[in-house]
Amino acid sequence: MTGDGQREHSQATAGRRVRWGSVLWMLLVLTCGVSIVWLRWQAARLDYAEVNVMTLILTFILLLAILARLCVWRGASRTVRWLPVVAVAALTAAAAGSLRVDRVSGRLVPQFSWRWAPKPDRLLAFPSVTADAPEIDLRTTTSADFPQFLGPRRDLTVSHVTLHRDWQSRPPRLVWRQPIGAGWSGFSVVNGYAVTLEQRGEDELVTCYDVTSGKACWTHSVVARHQTVLGGVGPRSTPTIDQGLVYALGATGVLRCLDGGTGQLVWRDELLRRCGVNPEEDLQAVAWGRAASPLVVDDLLIVPLGGPAGGPYTSLIALDKRTGDLRWQGGASQVSYASPSLMTLASTRQIVIVNESSVSGHRVEDGVELWSHPWPGGSTSSASVSQAVAVSPSQLLLSKGYGIGSALIEVRHGSDDTWATRTLWEQTGLLKTKFTNVAVRDGYAYGLSDGILECVDISAGRRCWKERRGGNFGHGQILLVDDLLLVSAEDGTVALVEANPDRFVKLSEFAALSDQTWNTMCLAGPYLLVRNAVEAACYELPLQAGAP
């Protein structure tokens, strides 16, 4: 072949390579673009967090493909080819140097702040409490009390209040609204006093407020701080009030029993010391902090214990509620982010706990594990947060996010004293609760399924409705009040929705808070207490005429 022929052959070959390169580039760009559109279209049916992550990855690939194409654009000058690359690199470097990911939403959307800006909780002083503040009364109980996580029976229901259904003619009245320390703790209320956990700087506080004024009555602090990008800052659990004592578990495993009248320490326990781990080692096993709300049963205080990454584990420990002395320990599972509950299943009173990768029942008297049922999860990923819910004398409803969904299991106790469980149904697409729990009424379960309010027929494992428009509240919380649902949206809005299995009916809503809200609500009589990691508020909700 002559020299001219070789040149023509080389040019033709190069041309084919360019054409094939263009075709492959176009296929890549088209695939990424179509995939992004499809993911956004299907987001409500898939998992919003996974969709957002995949969209980010595909967008990054698309951007790289466009920049690469510009770099090899033969018809453009060197400036035109490289200027976009330099500009994107410079913007990326500037953003990385000046911005930080402050936190993420429940759907993994990052929220940025300036690197030099302090966390809001570091700007707060301790709550103002006068030195001669009188002792308050947390021993006297009332029918309006909300003394623990998820309500009087720890089942997400309130039965002592009849709410008015028309918030247009009788809107909720703001009683007070004020800054509060960071954390995802809720309020517990007894006799008109509300207790919560909060983070202010390097101190983790248990604080007591007057419900009707918002004034701090007392506070107790320890030096402890938990902080992660995905989980945020501060304590996660809700205090428990029992017979004048307050029990609170902090995110770093500090368990306190306080005198409810004064906030003075009665006893203290260190769960990490019991596990034989330091805070850094505990983060390797329980990545988002200790989140269980203490449970009082008879004269026992019960909390999950867990252990170091790789074990050994202890599922639960029971302490003497007045002295803090160890009474028993039971089970061999790592902790999740759920809390223990007292239930009666198969005619046996027992403690039920959702562990890292199972759910189990334990004898009240000595903690012996009666039964265990597998429930997928990990305390460093795909975390279990939602409570198991008793829906009949022998059935438990389980739910969680991260692609697991929900299941109905049966717990059986044989005549030979053996225990067994079996799955009645499981559905990956139903009740994909993530940070929240389900409320049960008349055989139907209501929950925020990947942030969208959903109603499910429990016996059939069938969806009744799922409202993707008006019911897309994000990863907030719900509370069942008779035949109505209070829904706290992730953006701080509070809505009133019928607990109606036939259709979704939103009666009204109002902007209660103005920041990311994952905290559970508390309803004490007509007073709704809501909070997030920045502010807290109390609203008086209108009641039906003649209601208590």
Boundaries of every domain in the chain:
3-101
Question: What pLDDT, on the 0 to 100 scale, is given for residue 134?
Answer: 87
Q: What are phi and psi of 109, to 5 degrees?
A: -90, 120
Find all residues with CB under 8 Å of 496, minimum gap 6, and list them.
163, 165, 167, 484, 485, 486, 487, 506, 507, 508, 509
How many angstroms separate the CA atoms of 482 and 79, rounded? 68
What is the rounded CA–CA span in Å between residue 245 and residue 323?
Answer: 11
Q: How far is residue 458's CA from residue 446's CA, in Å, rounded to a whole number?
A: 10
Which residues, other chains included, contact 303 with Cβ-Cβ below 8 Å and sequence gap of 6+?
249, 255, 271, 292, 294, 295, 316, 317, 319, 340
The whole-number pLDDT of residue 8 equals 53
pLDDT by residue for the chain (548 residues), tens digit each? 555 555 555 555 545 555 776 788 788 888 888 988 988 887 767 788 888 888 888 888 888 888 777 776 666 676 766 777 787 788 888 878 888 888 888 888 888 888 888 888 999 999 999 877 889 999 999 999 999 999 999 999 998 899 999 999 999 999 999 999 999 999 999 999 999 999 999 999 999 999 999 999 999 999 999 999 889 999 999 999 999 999 999 999 999 999 999 999 999 999 999 999 999 999 999 999 999 999 999 999 999 999 999 999 999 999 999 999 999 999 999 999 999 999 999 999 999 999 999 999 999 999 999 999 999 999 998 999 999 999 999 999 999 999 899 999 999 999 899 999 999 999 999 999 999 999 999 999 999 999 999 999 999 999 999 998 899 999 999 999 999 999 999 999 999 999 999 999 999 999 999 999 999 999 999 999 999 999 999 999 999 876 55
How many CA atoms within 13 Å lie on the side-chain side of 39? 19
- Res 74: pLDDT: 63
pLDDT value, residue 271: 98
